[in-house]
Amino acid sequence: FKSTNDRDEKTNLLVFLSPHIVENREEGRKLYEEKRGKIDLSVEEAVKKQDSEKLRRMLLE
């Protein structure tokens, strides 16, 4: 997460953790799968957006 640039502007990465009490393995596995599915969808959306942005830039050049 470190990079070098010519600006004096700083940004912070905030991470929020939400604890969950998991009674058994199956419940833990279900919670994991739900969260993993949300992450996968977010990644797919980000990739599509990035690809469309690259295409837009190519077409405008």
Give all strands (DSSP E) within the chain, no chain letters: none
Mean pLDDT of 29-57: 87
Average pLDDT over the chain, rounded to whole? 85
Assess contact for 22 and 34: CB atoms under 8 A.
no
Alpha-carbon distance 28 to 30, whole Å?
5
Instruction: Please tell me whether the overall predicted TM-score, pTM, comes out greater than 0.95 for this model.
Output: no
Give residue 21's identity as a one-letter amino acid code.
Answer: I
Displacement of CA 4 from its chain's centroid (Å)? 22
- The closest of 10, 58, 12, 5 to 50, measured between CA atoms, is 58
Q: Could you read off the pLDDT of 33-42 as tens digits, one per residue? A: 999 999 999 9
Instruction: Find the helix or strand (DSSP H, E) in which 5 lies.
Output: none
Task: Work out the average pLDDT over 33-60.
Answer: 85
- Give the model's confidence band at 1: pLDDT under 50 very low, under 70 low, under 90 confident, else very high: low
